[in-house]
Structure formats: C-alpha cells, structure tokens
Structure 1
Amino acid sequence: MTTIAGVSANFTRDLDQNYSLIETMVAQARERGVDFLVFPEAAIGGYLSSLGNHGDTVKNTARSLPPAITLDGPEIRRVRQIVGDMVVAIGFCELGSAPDGTGEVRYNAAAVLDGTQVYGSYRKVHQPLGENMSYSAGDNYGVFDTPIGRVGLQICYDKAFPEAARTMALDGAEIIASLSAWPAARTATAENLQDDRWTHRFNLFDQARALDNQVFWIASNQSGTFGSLRYVGNAKVVDPGGNILATTLLGSGMAVAEVDIDETFRAMRGGMFHLRDRRPDVYGALTDTDHTAAWKELARA
C-alpha cells in the first residue's frame, strides 16, 4: 500500500514562512505515514498577486513577482533537507535560459524530489489570464521514475487541457500531480466559495482527468488569499475511476488516502482500458497546426 496526499495551504513571498509551513506539513504527513506529498503551485515564494491586465504582472514589475530560483540553488536544497526520505512535488518560480539563448527568463515550475535527489522538473505549458507577462511557457511534459512509481507533473490551468494528462498517461504515468494556485471567479463570485463556478471547474477537471486516463490524481492548491486572489483550496486525491478518496474542501490541510496502485490499476483497467481503446487514426485535428491556427483566429474575432 502507498499513502499519497495533496496539500491545501497559503504560501507568500516570505521564504521563512514557506519553509516553516513546509516543515509543519511534512511533520503532519509523516505522522500519517504519507509516502508522496504534493505541495501547491508556487509553494516557494508565492504566486502572482493578481491575474489579467491589472498592472502588477508585467515582466519588468519586479516588486510583485516571486523570487526566481534554480533547481540546484539553496532554496530547493532547503526543501530537500526538510523532506528527507519523503517524496514531494513542489511548485516554484524557476530562473532559466530563454530557448533562443537571448538571456534569462522565468518559468512557473514544479519538481518532484526527496532528500537524495531531484527526480524531475516541469515548466508550465498552458498560461491563463496574462500569466505570459510574468513567465515564459514550457514546451513538454515529462514523466519521472520515483520510489513511489511513475509520476507526471502539471500546473493549474494545464488541467483544462485533456491532451496534457493524456500525454503523460501514454508515457506510463501512474500518478499525476496537479499543483495549483487556483482562485475563485473574479466576477459574480459565489458567497460560499465551495459553490463558486471556478471551484466547480477545478473539481470537475480533477475527476475527469483521473477518469479519462485511469490514473491516480493528486490535486494541491493554495488556500486563503494573496493580493487580489482568493484561493479555493479543495486539495484532493482521486482514483483511476474518478472517485474522490479524500478532499480538504475550502480548508487548509491535507487530503490523504492509502491506495494499492497495482491492484487498483488491474481492477479499473481490467474491464475497460481507455488508453488501449483509443483511435489515434481519427484524431488528426488535434495536432493539425493549420486547424489550430484557424481556431486562434476565431478566438480573437
């Protein structure tokens, strides 16, 4: 059996606050026998203080941006020291080189690691609501072998794109960790955030992507508020049948579930195997660049 968990918590620009909160959550997870713990997007240094064209997400407005760090820097080393033998996924702002070699850029990133090594990292591909003014986009999805199985990483808005999770499932992902800083709707926000339309979408995507690909899905999320954003929490563990095994709802804390990965896959995929039964020969429009360009023109109209 393997115990997996997603975190709902509030992370800010204060790195000492971040480390203290990580230590607290890791200690609580240890007490519950957690093998794999998924922290939210931007757990090191916090997320953006707003989204859209509000004047504080422009690349040259450094005052509002999270600190940019590297995979081999002191911040990641500190996290590895804290987690020890526990496997953890965690989000941060990564300082990297521009693909064209023109200089340094920022990426909204995540890594899966423990005290011994970084097993892999990911740079967010899909960017919502002006996020591209603060981060460059990643260009691939990786799946990484870890002590708890093959793990895929994605960040927030990625979950709205079935192709992202499917790519990782086809690469053998058994668990997909979906790290988020997912807020409530900016307009007509529900009085009870659990009933908010963006909360509904967050939860629906989590269940659908797990069921689509018959994988274990761990969703983490920020909670509370930061800048103009009100986060909706709802960290959860979803099984390959789309069933929610544990959730924090709006609160801070951990959604923890003990699972038998091999036996669950045999049971869920024994009668109906979504990956085996695909028909790639009729999916041409998914990768037809002319078709995609036409839709982008329609979206701008």
Structure 2
Amino acid sequence: MFKIAVLQHAMAAEIDANLDTAERLMRDAAEAGARLVVFPELQLSPFFPKRRANAKQDPSAQYLMDRTHPALKRLSELAKAHKLVTVANLYMSRNGRRFDASPVIDADGTVLGVSEMVHVAQFDGFWEKDYYDHGEGFEVYDTAVGRIGVVICYDRHFPESWRACALKGAEIIATPACNLAHENLDLFAHEIGVMAMQNSVYAAMANRCGNEDGQAYAGHSVIAGPDGALLARAGSDEQILIAECDPRHRLKIARKAGWLAELQDWLKPGAEGPVGVS
C-alpha cells in the first residue's frame, strides 16, 4: 500500500511563486508519507483561458514552456529530492503547437513523458481552443508506484478517455482540473467515482482553489477507489488531500468485475464482440 496526495492550491501570477508553493506542498506531502502527488490544471499560472485570446495582448505567452524549461527541471528535482512520482500540469509547446499538458515525473526525477489534453473546451470561462491544440491520444506510464494514466480536466467528461487508459493497463488515473465554485461539485465527485469503478482504477482529481480576478475556483478535489467509493474529498481551501492506494485490492476488484478482460477479448483482431457491438 502507498499514499496518493492531491495538492490542491491557488495560483499566483508569477511562475516562481507557484514553484515555491509546489515545493512546500511536495515536501509536506512526502513528510505525510505520500509517494504519488497530483497537481491542479495550469499549476504555474493564473487560469488565462478564462478570457478570449487577444493577439495584441497575450497573457499566456509568459507561461508557455517546452521540456527544457527551468520550471520543469525544478519540478523534476523536487520529485527526486522527495522520492515522489509527480503528475504536473503546465502550458507546454511541442513542434510549434501549444497544449494543456501533464508531464509525468518518476520518483527518481525522470520525466517519463508528457500527456496532452485531447478534448479541448470552448465556452464561457473556458476559451481553451484559443490557446490549446488537441492532443493525439492517451498514454500510460510505468512509475515507481505502478501504471499511471492522465485524463486532463475536460477529457474526464468523455468515458472513452478513461477506457483508453484502462485498456493500456492503467492502475491509477490522475486528473488535473479547473472547476468553478458555482458548478455541480457533487456531480463531478460522483463522476470520478463512477469512472474509477467502471475502469477498476484509483482516480485522483486535483482542482484549483482560490479567487482570480473575480472568479472563484472550487477546490473540492477527490480521490476515488476502484470500487467507486469516494476515499477523500477536499474543502474549498488549500489542502493536501491524501488516501491510501492498495494495488492488490485494485487487482482483486478488477478481476472480480471482469469488464476490462471482456473488452480486451473482443478487441482482439478477428473477434466478433458482444451482441450489439461492432
């Protein structure tokens, strides 16, 4: 068994200030016995997609970084120093394209890969298509605590996102998120529980909190077990939310449910699939 920690916090306008917060929370989570930490969406900046993009004044440009950026190096160093598998979330560039992206860092500081948001929102308060390109799929990473998939914020509303990770062997799915205080937070919490249950995984949704330019972010991060139980739920303020993760318990539930095994059978080449599925 090991502990998962969701690091729920508010964001400042400066990257360095947010990195200082990350350092403090990672240290405290490690001291509390955590081995995996998950950060909220866009953890090093204000939530700039709140507003439509403006070519004359782009608030996002100062936060855009690639895999060589010093901020990612510092997060990797912190992961190594505290022996923490770390799911971060940054505004990142790749081959001239921009993404809402989650570097997954192993406990030795190695960046195992970067997951990019696939489904990109575009509505009031979330003008994300003004800033982000679509990612190309879902990846699962072998880490010191097991196989981790990443489903970023809006992606979580599409069950196929979770199933793609589960079919690749995910044991834990991390969800950096940005939920507003006036949204249906109970529904969101139960959504995480249902997706965890239907895919036999542990699920950790890390949300922003605090107020930014008149907008209140909700907090109320959630950790759910592979049976769908809500193991821990945060309040509205900064919090290190912790729950126990038992890989053997997850495997027992997965074997009993049998859903993934059945899907994997009919997804094999030549399989006819269950009635009604083509």
**How would you bin the TM-score normalised by the shorter chain?**
0.7 to 0.9
Residues 125, 140 of structure 1: 8 Å contact kept: yes
Q: Secondary structure at the match of 2:90?
A: strand
Counterpart in the other structure of 1:293: none
Residues 8, 253 of structure 1: 8 Å contact kept: yes
In 2, Cα distance between the equivalents of 1:254 and 1:8? 6
Q: Given the alignment, which residue of 144, 161, 165 partners 1:168?
A: 165
Counterpart in the other structure of 2:270: none
How has the CA–CA distance of structure 1 residues 239 and 112 changed in structure 2, closer, same or farther, with 3 Å as cutoff?
A: same
Counterpart in the other structure of 1:57: 53
How has the CA–CA distance of structure 1 residues 43 and 270 changed in structure 2, closer, same or farther, with 3 Å as cutoff?
A: same
Q: Given the alignment, which residue of 109, 112, 117 partners 1:119?
A: 112
Q: Given the alignment, which residue of 242, 246, 254 partners 1:260?
A: 246
Shift of residue 44 of structure 1? 2.2
Q: Which amino acid aligns with 1:86?
A: L
How has the CA–CA distance of structure 1 residues 250 and 273 changed in structure 2, closer, same or farther, with 3 Å as cutoff?
A: farther
Q: Map 1:83-232 to 2 at 5 A.
A: 83-84=79-80, 85-97=83-95, 104-114=96-106, 115-128=108-121, 129=123, 130-184=127-181, 189=182, 196-197=183-184, 199-232=185-218
In 1, Cα distance between the equivalents of 2:256 and 2:42? 39
Q: Structure 1 stretches (4+) deviating beyond 6 angstroms?
A: none
**Aligned-residue identity in percent:** 26
How has the CA–CA distance of structure 1 residues 206 and 232 changed in structure 2, closer, same or farther, with 3 Å as cutoff?
A: same
How has the CA–CA distance of structure 1 residues 133 and 246 changed in structure 2, closer, same or farther, with 3 Å as cutoff?
A: same
The answer as to 2:81 corresponding to 1:74 is no
Residues 166, 213 of structure 1: 8 Å contact kept: yes
Residues 172, 201 of structure 2: 8 Å contact kept: yes
Counterpart in the other structure of 1:289: none
Q: Secondary structure at the match of 2:119?
A: coil
In 1, Cα distance between the equivalents of 2:69 and 2:277? 42
Q: Given the alignment, which residue of 205, 215, 224 partners 1:238?
A: 224
Q: Secondary structure at the match of 2:206?
A: strand
Residues 202, 245 of structure 2: 8 Å contact kept: no
Q: Secondary structure at the match of 1:57?
A: coil
In 1, Cα distance between the equivalents of 2:130 and 2:55? 5
In 2, Cα distance between the equivalents of 1:124 and 1:58? 22
Shift of residue 60 of structure 1? 5.8
TM-score under structure 1 length normalisation: 0.81
Shift of residue 49 of structure 1? 5.2
Alignment length (residue pairs): 262
Residues 171, 202 of structure 2: 8 Å contact kept: yes
Q: Which amino acid aligns with 2:258?
A: F
Q: Which amino acid aligns with 1:83?
A: A
Deviates more, 1:269-278 or 1:174-183: 269-278
The answer as to 2:254 corresponding to 1:269 is yes
Gaps of 5+ in 2: 268-272
In 1, Cα distance between the equivalents of 2:200 and 2:37? 20
Counterpart in the other structure of 1:101: none
Shift of residue 269 of structure 1? 2.5
TM-score under structure 2 length normalisation: 0.88
